A and B are shown apart, each in its own frame.
Chain A
Amino acid sequence: GAGVSQTPSNKVTEKGKYVELRCDPISGHTALYWYRQSLGQGPEFLIYFQGTGAADDSGLPNDRFFAVRPEGSVSTLKIQRTERGDSAVYLCASSSSGQGRPQHFGDGTRLSIL
């Protein structure tokens, strides 16, 4: 079936602007994760949703970052007042509930802040 879908694949914007990144998880997956990957690094955890609620948002770097998942499926990561240091690839992963379910990643959104 279809995998995790992320849009847009690339986003270029100016410093100070607001951006939204979208994630469509695998159908039926109740767990959804956002990670951020800088060049030459492994992905770093941002936030995890179980259903509609954020079960763990301890990885969000500051209050400019926010994410929602209002209906328990699609999620949107929102970044306010973007800074050049926010430039990275933002990855989304989903997992079915229950023990022993691995996380499946989308191809990410490459965000560039000019």
Chain B
Amino acid sequence: GENVEQHPSTLSVQEGDSAVIKCTYSDSASNYFPWYKQELGKGPQLIIDIRSNVGEKKDQRIAVTLNKTAKHFSLHITETQPEDSAVYFCAASRGSTLGRLYFGRGTQLTVWP
């Protein structure tokens, strides 16, 4: 099956700085890569996703990049704000998005004011 590894496990940044979280995957057949934000006591919330036919996708302060050859993808958050503080998960899926998601272990992001 798929194995998704995520780094770092914790990340602290000053408000206004950028934050980068990196993930690698093992299955070259994976072609859908969502990122989720999870706040305490809540379910994961989708923030951005990317398909394997695209190298980069951006949505305001959030961007995701994908390197299929190296089998890694990254989340970039610019101009961080205290409300960005949460646990972020990357995930990978094989085939269509009707399939199961394989999640990384998460990154606890703390943004200091």
Contact = CB atoms under 8 A, between A and B. Distances in A.
A25 interface: no
Given A99-B96, A103-B46, A41 B105 contact: yes
Interface in A93-114: 93, 95, 97, 99-108
B51 interface: yes
Interface residues of A, number: 29
B45 interface: yes
A87 interface: no
A101 B98 CA distance: 8
B34 to A, nearest CB: 6
B101 to A, nearest CB: 6
Interface string B1-34: 0001010000000000000000000000000001
B98 A43 contact: no
A16 interface: no
A40 interface: yes
B42 to A, nearest CB: 5
Contacts of B36: 105
Nearest to B93: A103
Contact of B43 (A31, A45, A55, A91): A91
Nearest to B36: A105
A43 B49 contact: no
Interface of A: 4, 31, 33, 35, 40-45, 48, 50, 55-56, 59, 91, 93, 95, 97, 99-108
10 contacts: A4-B43, A41-B106, A43-B89, A45-B101, A55-B98, A59-B100, A95-B98, A101-B97, A103-B34, A105-B43
